[in-house]
Every structure is written in structure tokens, then in C-alpha cells.
Amino acid sequence: MIRKSKKRKRFFISALLSGSIISLSFLSLGVIYTVVLIKNLPSPDQFETHEASQSTKIYDRTGKTLLYEIHGEEKRTVVPFSDIPENLRRATISAEDANFYTRPAFDWQGILRALWVDIKTLSFSQGGSTITQQLAKNVFLSPEKTITRKIKELVLAIELESKYSKDEILSLYLNQVPYGSNAYGVEAASQTFFNKSAKDLDLAESALLAGLPKAPSYYSPWGSHTDDLTTRKDYILDKMFELGYISKEQSDKSKKEKLVFAPPSLGIIKAPHFSLMVKDYLINKYGEDEVLNGGLRVTTSLDWGMQQIAEKAVESGAKRNEELYDGKNASLVAQDPKTGQILALVGSRNYFDTDIGGNFNVAIQGLRQPGSALKPFAYMTAFQLGYPTQTILFDVPTEFVSNDPNCPATFDFNNQESSSSECFHPQDFEPFQGPVQMDQALAQSINIPAVKTLYLVGLKAFLNNAHGFGITTLNDPWRYGLSLVLGGGEVKLVDLVNAFSTFAQEGVRHNQTSILEISDSKGNVLETYHDDSTKVIDPQYPQMINKILSDKDLRSGLFQNSLGITVFPGYDVALKTGTTNDYRDAWAMGYTPFITVGVWAGNNDNTPMIRKGTSILAAVPIWSDFLKQVINNYSPESFSNPDTVNISNKPMLNGQYIYTPVGINQKSQVHSILYYVDKNNPLGDFPQNPADDSQFINWETGILNWFLH
């Protein structure tokens, strides 16, 4: 036992000595590694502007037409510290390093906090940088997030503070840091965004500029995130008040100040809405540093020739609408339905016209009510449940709210007011037509049959089909009622174009894309286009919709004298329009088997247009103008004919609304479809008690009143 104990002691002593030797070895290696890093660092004595990084270039689908170059040559004008307003200095300190003047070159607490987050997340994504560290990084180092770079940054920051005063470091920082749109330093930023010298900036403008370096592209005053920029500006004003730099009154006054930005000056940029959309995609996927400095080469799906036609069609059409309907803006998206590739995208009329909000990209940012453009999804769902296209629905005045004494089924529809704001009795743009077939109701966009169709198929099935076809919004079912089929929810134009492309492809959705290929500065391919498609429904049902919407005779009653602009001789072209009741939005969604084109028209500030005549033809002429110029580039293709459907012998479903029961002395009857159909089993037996359906009394009363009048 004594020998074993001595052996164990010798073992532990030996292990302890070995561990100490190993630890000292690692420590020595660490010291040597750090010394080598320090030895190879640039000297702050040679403080020069760092060489501009490689820019990212965005091209059209040919790879030959340069649409936009991100970063490019740095714009910088060095100004003396005395010309930088005190408010801008203090705003920058408040935003980036509140203890700048009271602590050394580095923030140990910030470093440890960032290190703890990195350890927990198994990454190296956190910073913890002071203004001095940021200056060292921006001038001498790369933006890579590694331990090596962090050590270099700390050493350089210490050396900078040993050589320069705090004021000199802040001055160097304010003259070096990027503010976005190729503006480096506060003078270039002030001239770029406010068209004035930095020394003339007021408090609100200073706070806004101070917020840009955190993410220059994301917070750009010309970009898609101006609400977030305003929030950041207000946060900086609050921080300045908290630090005692300004009073509460100054903070509140500056928050309310309406800032006016200089017109965008982005250098050479083509298809600006599309190009900036691609830029946002790149930043979200690869990070801002890589996009601004990595020299990416991006080949997009954009057809530059088609894009130019689209821009001219939107510009001339919106000018026409401004004169006719007081609608100053429009947006157009064209897509190849066979691939999902966006061929043209115009977000607004004239990106550079700030008076009309031209920089707003309605196509991807706008959430707008689609009016009747959603009706095809209701009817397709009905066909899916077994309703034939000749199913009869009554287009008569109908109240859809049940069991509300303020909304009686015998409501006087000559009186547009009701005693309850919850009543729902939609109107039509044309006189009520009585019994109409589903195909006719869809082609002529009649409201009452569409609402009845949505009730018959159910909101869940309707939304399932809409989402399957490509609609990414309409995700709050509790918000929507039967008015959804008339535009009671909000959608994006790009989504609608994708959804109608799925109709064009007979129920096969090709995921939408704007990218064909992305490679880095060394030519390595980072991503390339591949068709990502999904069959979302049996082709029979979208084929039925395509046949209806491409039938010019069926839609002639809707367009009347304007029918000609919807017809393209030799080509099958389907079309669905939409107009909201308050005339804020007008839509034209048209497609062939080879191209889908969607147009929105209205005002970017959401003010309504003015109706003239029986309808607003604000979107259709723009759609027609564009398609007439591009359709001849394609060979004609026809929509597939749907399979023949066995006609039900049930009244209404067989196209007959007068029903004579079998038997002696039975009289002919006229009822709503709910008399013959259980909506949960439309092809089954007659309902035993039709009145059990909550809509039965309302629909029957509407028909009775229509016959009596």
C-alpha cells in the first residue's frame, strides 16, 4: 500500500510539472504570435487614406449592361475639426462611444461582453469597439471578424492614442468613416444627403448623419428603411439628452423637424428600383461589408430592353392618370412564368422625383388592397370543389351579415347608409344583373357572385390556394371576412405577379428570383440560378380560370369600348383587373403562357384617385402599352383546354335557376343556390333544411326583392 501511495504521488507531481510546461509553452507561443502581429502592423506615423476596396457590380441578364456599381470611388473632403459642428461631434460620441473622452483606447467591458456573446453563440460576430478602434479598423485593417484582426485593432488603437489627442482622433474618425452612397467623412456625407457643408448642419441633421455609420446602406436616406433611420436619429437625440449635451426641449423639437434630403445622386444607375432591390438582397445574404468591399459580380434576371419599355410605359401612363384621375404613380413587374425570373421591374414613376415619392418601390414595399384581382382564387377553389363554370349565382342586392337587427335582409339598397357599421352589402359598378354564370361573373368582375363564391368555398380553402400560388401576405385570417375577395386585405405587386404566373403555368409555381449568378472578386461562383418549382394544384382548375380570363367575348361586357386594348391578335392573353372601392388602387394582371405582367396605379402616399365615368382605367392602358411592345418577341402559345366536366343535374349547378319539382301540379320555383347545395358537400343531396345555413334567409330575401322590383 505504501509503494502504491508513493507511485501515485510521483505520478501527480510528474503530471503537474508536465501541465505547467505545456501551459508555459502555449503562453510563450501566444506572446511570440502577438509580437509578430505587432511587428507587422502599419505605423500610425504614416496615417494615410486606405486604398478603396473593390466595388460590387450589378448587371442585366446578358452580363454586359452595367446597372449599378456599389461603392465605387470614395467621395471625401477633409475638413478641420473646427468646421465640424459641436452637435455632430456630440451626436457621434452618443451614437458610437459615450465614454470616448473618459476612457482609454479600448473598452474592456465591451470586449468581455462581446466575447461572452461570441462564446455562447460559437461565433465571432460581436464588436465592442471604441471610436479609436473603429478608426484603426477603417484605415488600416480589413472588416473580417477574427481574433487576429481584433488583436491588431487593439494594438493600433493604443498606438493611436499615444500619438494623437482625443480631439485629433475624433477629427480623423469623422473625416474617414463611411456614411453610405460612397460618401466618406462628414463633409461628403453632408453634401451628399443635405446639399450643404457640414458646418451648416443643425441638430436634427447632425443626429441623423451620426446614425449612418452603423449600417450605411441599410439606413440610407434614399433607401427602403427610412422609418428605421428616423428611429435611430431619435434614439441618438435621446442619448444626447441623457448625456447632458442637449436639453429635453431641443431633443423634442429636433424629433419633430421634417428633414429634407437632397435628390439622390447615385452616379450611373439603371433600373434603380430593381438595382436597389438586388442590393438589399445581397446585403441581407452576404453582409454589408462584403457587398461594399468584396467586389462581387452579379448577373441579374433583368431584360434591359424590356425594362426600358416598362419605364416609358409607366412614365407616360402615370402622367395620363395624373391628368385624368389625379393618380401620380404606377408600378410594373414582368416575369417569365416558366422560370420565375423577373424580367422588368419599375417600382414607381421616376425614382428621382421626390415630389411624388418616386424612390418608394411599390412593387416590393407597397402593401395595397388588390380589389377584384383576388377573385380568380375564389372561383378556382369553387371549381376544385366540383362547381361547374356554368353554375348560377344571383347578382342581386344582398346583405351578408346575419342575425343582426341593424342589418335586415330586407335592407333598402337604394339607401347607401345603414344603422350599423358592421353591415356588409357590397355594390356593383354596373346595374345588378340577376342570375349569372360563374364564368361570366368572373370575366366581368361582378361583386355579389364573388362574395357568394367565397362564402361557398370558405376562407381557409381560399387562402390555402392563394398562398400556394405565391401570395406571402394575408396571414391574419381573423382580420378578414367575405370582403377579402373584393380586396379586403393587402398584397404586394410582386406576389400577385408570381401568383398569376402560377395560373399561366397551370398550377406549377416557379419561385420568383432576380438573380442568375453571383461570383466573388476571384471568380468563384457563390450562387447560380436553378429552377425551384412546385406543383400546387391539379392543372384542371387553373386551366378553367385561364380559359375564362382569356375569353375576350366574356370580358367584353366589362370593357365595352375599351375592349380593343385588351386584345392581342394571334395571342391568348388572360386578364384580370381590380379597383378598390375608394379608388386608392387600380390593378391590371395579365398573362400568357410565356409572360406575366402586373401593373398597379395610384398614389404612393395612398391618397385616392378620382373616378370619372363608370370605372377607372388607370392600370390597364399601362399594361396594354407595355405588352403590345414586347409580345411580338415571342411565338404565340395557347392555353390548354380543361377536361370536359360532367354537368351536375342539380339546379343552379347545371346552369338553370328555374326549378320545377317532379310531381303533379308542381309549380316552378326560383331559389338561391343554398336551397339546393350544402356548401360542405356541394355535389351531394339537397339540404334537408336549407334555413340551417346562416346565409340562406339573406340570399333568398335578396332574390325575392329583386323579382318584386
Q: Specify the long-range contacts of residues 517-524, CB closer than 8 Å, at least 24 apart.
A: 517/298, 517/299, 518/282, 518/296, 518/297, 518/298, 518/299, 519/296, 519/297, 520/294, 520/295, 520/296, 520/297, 521/54, 521/294, 521/295, 521/296, 521/297
User: Under a CB-based contact definition with an 8 Å cutoff, are residues 588 and 577 in contact?
Assistant: yes
pLDDT band at 421 (very low <50, low <70, confident <90, very high): low
Which CATH code fits 76-259? 1.10.3810.10
Residue ranges, CATH 3.40.710.10, the chain: 313-367+543-638
Helix axis angle, 86-96 relative to 226-242, nearest 10°? 100
Highest mean pLDDT among 131-135, 183-187, 574-578: 574-578
pLDDT band at 265 (very low <50, low <70, confident <90, very high): low
Give residue-wise pLDDT tens across range 242-260: 999 999 999 999 999 999 8
Neighbours of 365 (CB within 10 A): 18
Question: How many C-alpha atoms does 146 have within 13 Å on its Cβ side?
Answer: 7
DSSP conformation class of 528: E
| Better-scored residue on pLDDT, 426 or 572 | 572
Grid cell for residue 677? 347545395
| Better-scored residue on pLDDT, 690 or 16 | 690
**For 268-279, what is the mean pLDDT?**
92
User: Under a CB-based contact definition with an 8 Å cutoff, are residues 473 and 367 in contact?
Assistant: yes
- pLDDT (0 to 100) of residue 182: 80
pLDDT band at 4 (very low <50, low <70, confident <90, very high): very low
Highest mean pLDDT among 181-190, 381-390, 429-438, 642-651: 381-390
The pLDDT mean for the chain works out to 85
- pLDDT (0 to 100) of residue 17: 46
Which CATH code fits 313-367+543-638? 3.40.710.10
- pLDDT (0 to 100) of residue 404: 77
What is the secondary structure of 305-356 as a DSSP string?
HHHHHHHHHHHHHHHHHHHHHS--EEEEEEE-TTT-BEEEEE-SS-TT-GGG
Report how far residue 340's alpha carbon sits from residue 509's, in angstroms, rounded to the nearest whole number.
8
pTM of the predicted structure, to 2 decimals: 0.74
Which of 107-116, 349-358, 423-432, 509-518 is least confident?
Answer: 107-116
- 528 pairs with which residues across the strands? 517
Residue 440 has pLDDT above 50, yes or no: yes
Residue 364 has pLDDT above 60, yes or no: yes
3-class DSSP assignment, residue 370:
coil
- pLDDT (0 to 100) of residue 561: 84
| Better-scored residue on pLDDT, 644 or 287 | 287
Give residue-wise pLDDT tens across range 183-230: 888 988 998 899 888 999 999 999 999 999 999 989 999 888 888 999
**For 321-350, what is the mean pLDDT?**
96
- pLDDT (0 to 100) of residue 602: 93
pLDDT band at 120 (very low <50, low <70, confident <90, very high): low
pLDDT band at 543 (very low <50, low <70, confident <90, very high): very high
Residue 8 has pLDDT above 60, yes or no: no
Residue ranges, CATH 1.10.3810.10, the chain: 76-259
